[in-house]
Structure 1
Amino acid sequence: MLSLGIALLTTIVVAWLIVKRMKPQAVLFAGGFFLLAVAILMGVPLLDAKKSTGLVWFDIFKFVEDTFSTRAAGIGLMIMTVGGFAKYMDYIGASRSLVHLASKPLSLIRSPYLLLAVSYIIGQLLNIVIPSAAGLCVLLMATMYPVLVSLGVSRLSAAAVVATTPCLDLGPASGTAVFAAKTADLDVADYFVGEQLPIAVVTMAAISISHYFIQRYFDRKEGVEAKVLQAAPVQEGEQLPPSIYALLPMVPIILVLMFSKLCITSIKMPVVTAMIISVFLAMLMELIRTRHPKEVCKSIQVFFDGMGHLFATVITLIVAGETFAFGLTKIGAIDLIIQGAQSSGFGAVGVTLIMTIIVAVAAIIMGSGNAPFYSFGALVPDIAKGLSMLPATMITPMQMASSIARSASPITAAVVAVAGVADVSPVDIVKRTAIPMGIALLVSFLMAVIL
């Protein structure tokens, strides 16, 4: 219990400092280092013998090095290329061209908040075929976000909606959905159609409606005036590129969707590959339009600068968050929570509720729902059998909670990525996503129990 108390106290201090707008990276690293130091004093090894430096105190920093290496080459590279692509689209005027054209039909929706509600549904449906939460968010920040802002939606409202578009991990492309299906001894397609879909439809409607009212409330509270939607005007003296440039910001999404399970399955199209292809296509079009090879070649620096900016602001925060989560794990806090849930003595619904809440809280604290969900999910078959209930009934709300709660965490990769591109605070975004995600947790749990 001592380790749980230390973990809880450290988490409260870290959360308080972040709310007080201390540099999140420094606070999370400090919290993680403290927890790892306590773990070392408790005699807990941090790394496997093959990865260890030979001195356990140095292993704290070796973990940071390994995490930087892994994230920079994985999700970090994806986030950086998408951010660089968004910067390049701004530089050549493609984003402005897209906004100008797209604002005309979208302006038929007169209410900014109705537009937000519809935008969430569109983004959530895209998440089924673009399962990367951070990847989808930054794609939408390069396409949907500028359109929403140009049509009168406040930056924070638009960012909050984008940050919640991947809050339901649905379909066979989702790793947690596949794990849940296997744990419930169901085919992945059957799990999606029979277990996830009925719950998701109602939950999506609840989130969409809640965004309408919550974002309007926060805008009014903060004195943000909702504008009447109208087509984005061309400023005097502004030269828009050819209309075909409006398609360029959409190229990555088109490539990712085309070469997916929806269309062509024989070709794989990772997000990073789609971004690089799109940038070079844009450079080719710039060369044709301007006929200045030297300037076009020079312009690629905009892409690289955009990547570097997101590394400094986003990737560092992801690594800091994972360091803190690693500290919570090594000190034994997560294991104690799991053991407590197993021995609670509640009925089927009560145990399911407790496990769902714990997964959600852990996801908010750790910035990712994967670790707590996989830990608890492995226990479901035995617990469900002892309670005479179907494993699917227990694991489905847990799986939903692992992704819903993620969108209410200021250190999750998707929220941090959105904040970085929108140039706002992750904490300010989470203030606007917390209530919709709380409603989503409640609705998804009730639907799982009822169905």
Structure 2
Amino acid sequence: MTIIGIILVILTFYAIVKKYETRLVLMFSGLLMAVIGGTPEIAINAFIKELVDPSLTPIICLTMGFSFIIDATNCSNSLISIITSWLKKAKPILIPATVILVWFMNVALISASGLAAAVGAILIPTLIRAGIHPAMAASAVLLGTWGSSVSPGNPFIAQVAQLADTDVMSIIIPTAPKLFICVIITSVILTLTAYLKKENFSSENTYVKDDHKISNTTKINYFYATIPLIPIVLLIISSPIVGWIPQVSIPIAMLFGTVLCLIVTRPNIKNFANFYFKGLGTGFSDIVCLIAAAAVFIQGMDSIGLTSALIDGMRNSASIAKVSAVFGPFFLAAISGSGNAAVLAFNGTVTPHAAAFNLNIADMGSAVQAAAMLGRCLSPVAGVSIICAKLANVNPMDLTKRNAIPCIIGGIAMIILILL
């Protein structure tokens, strides 16, 4: 069954690369594996669960609604024009600056998918408007979504601290500088990739298409330009790390931004409503349904025993424990699309035995959870990858191709900096 699973996974990724309908491919492959494994009902339940996931579905739909509105009212155009004018003299550092910025924001806002939806709606169009290829723009945002690996709010760091019988900050403080070096390395490699692929900048920007909007004015309105930033500012200053105001959820922040946009721009109410609800529907059909289809695929891998086989194979490689501690969860997250599952699997079965590999639990646990989050940035079926790809209107596999080398080199850097 494991061999059948490997063949099906390879065929699935091949079909995605060939640009067959991603949702259909993932659902068909996942259901087929689940049927072979004898648990089709579990795969179907996983699909239903993701459709109505209260922790993600409202975030995606409300964020997409807000994204449609700020675009339709030219709020995003005003912000993009301002940022682009500032960055004209700093284009060489635009990609690495984006990766590092998103990484730091992910420390405060640990939901990678929520962060990608909220920040990507602004940063990705900005990068595209600056002349960066859409897939490269999405890759830059995606590559920064593992900053939660040094966040005090990350439950997996608490898990490592419990295993090591210490406190959370004792895990974070010695690890954070090393992981920051890794994010710098990955951002530089992605920038070099962009230069080699000639996707860094285009003198004749053919990536931007002007769609119908409520307002067609091209004049920069500095007041309008602040509207897209309001939800992000609210989320940052209300986060537990900053704590300036009571914590605000992402859906509430997006609703607040939407209402503020309506008050400030005073558009035609009917058109405003049409664009907003179109955004909600697009978020559900294009993103939520794709994530739900990916859940069927992941469940299918579990049903056929492929996930457990991968874990067992890596766990039994004690002779290369330092490499498997990083690249085990890294590749498991890359294949399955779930960084959380990879961390839970390894911290539950491998990390407690770190002493047997001449490692301490704190170092091994830190490497495991950081590597899993980095590996997720490589997965075409991860929810955060799907969100970034959709915002750039590209295939998730396009992001995987661009992030592959930066992520792998980042993983090697983790082994050297943390475990050697």
Measure, in 1, the Cα distance between the counterparts of 2:357 and 2:405.
Answer: 32
Tell me the equivalent position of 1:328: 301
- Displacement, 1:239? 4.4
Measure, in 2, the Cα distance between the counterparts of 1:343 and 1:100.
Answer: 54
Tell me the equivalent position of 1:25: 23
CA contact (8 A) 2:377 2:385 kept: yes
Which of the residues 164, 167, 172 maps onto 1:187?
167
Which aligned pairs between 1:43-442 and structure 2 lie closer than 5 A? 46=39, 58=41, 60-70=43-53, 73-109=54-90, 112-168=91-147, 169-195=149-175, 197-219=176-198, 226-227=202-203, 238-240=217-219, 242-264=221-243, 267-287=246-266, 295-296=268-269, 298-346=271-319, 350-442=320-412
Measure, in 2, the Cα distance between the counterparts of 1:406 and 1:128.
Answer: 16
- Displacement, 1:104? 2.5
Measure, in 1, the Cα distance between the counterparts of 2:178 and 2:415.
Answer: 9
Q: Counterpart of 1:356 in structure 2: which amino acid? A: V
- Displacement, 1:228? 9.1
CA contact (8 A) 2:329 2:343 kept: yes
Q: Counterpart of 1:210 in structure 2: which amino acid? A: I
Measure, in 2, the Cα distance between the counterparts of 1:322 and 1:430.
Answer: 18
Does the residue aligned with 1:254 lie in a helix, a strand or coil? helix
CA contact (8 A) 2:60 2:283 kept: yes
Tell me the equivalent position of 1:52: none
Measure, in 2, the Cα distance between the counterparts of 1:355 and 1:389.
Answer: 10
Report the TM-score, using the length of structure 1 for normalisation: 0.85
Measure, in 1, the Cα distance between the counterparts of 2:15 and 2:139.
Answer: 22
- Displacement, 1:218? 1.9
Tell me the equivalent position of 2:213: none
Q: What CA RMSD, in Å, does the superposition of the two structures yield over aligned residues?
A: 2.3
Q: Counterpart of 1:154 in structure 2: which amino acid? A: H
Query: Gaps (5+ residues) in structure 1?
Result: 41-45, 47-56
Measure, in 2, the Cα distance between the counterparts of 1:167 and 1:382.
Answer: 23
Measure, in 2, the Cα distance between the counterparts of 1:218 and 1:361.
Answer: 25
Measure, in 2, the Cα distance between the counterparts of 1:60 and 1:368.
Answer: 16
Measure, in 2, the Cα distance between the counterparts of 1:386 and 1:101.
Answer: 56
- Displacement, 1:396? 1.9
- Displacement, 1:299? 0.7
State the number of aligned residues: 411
- Displacement, 1:367? 0.8
- Displacement, 1:190? 1.7
CA contact (8 A) 1:163 1:414 kept: yes
- The verdict on how the C-alpha distance between 1:250 and 1:357 changes in structure 2, with shifts beyond 3 A counting, is same
CA contact (8 A) 2:116 2:142 kept: yes
Q: Counterpart of 2:391 in structure 1: which amino acid? A: V
Measure, in 2, the Cα distance between the counterparts of 1:264 and 1:345.
Answer: 43
Measure, in 1, the Cα distance between the counterparts of 2:244 and 2:336.
Answer: 34
Instruction: Encode CA deviations 1:387-427: one digit per residue, 9 max, x unaligned.
Output: 34311222222111101110111111111111111111111
CA contact (8 A) 1:160 1:432 kept: yes
CA contact (8 A) 1:214 1:432 kept: yes
Aligned-pair identity in percent equals: 22
Instruction: Encode CA deviations 1:166-219: one digit per residue, 9 max, x unaligned.
Output: 134321122333333333333112211112x12212102101211220111123
Tell me the equivalent position of 1:50: none
- Displacement, 1:282? 0.8
Does the residue aligned with 1:219 lie in a helix, a strand or coil? coil
Larger radius of gyration: 1
Measure, in 2, the Cα distance between the counterparts of 1:367 and 1:153.
Answer: 26
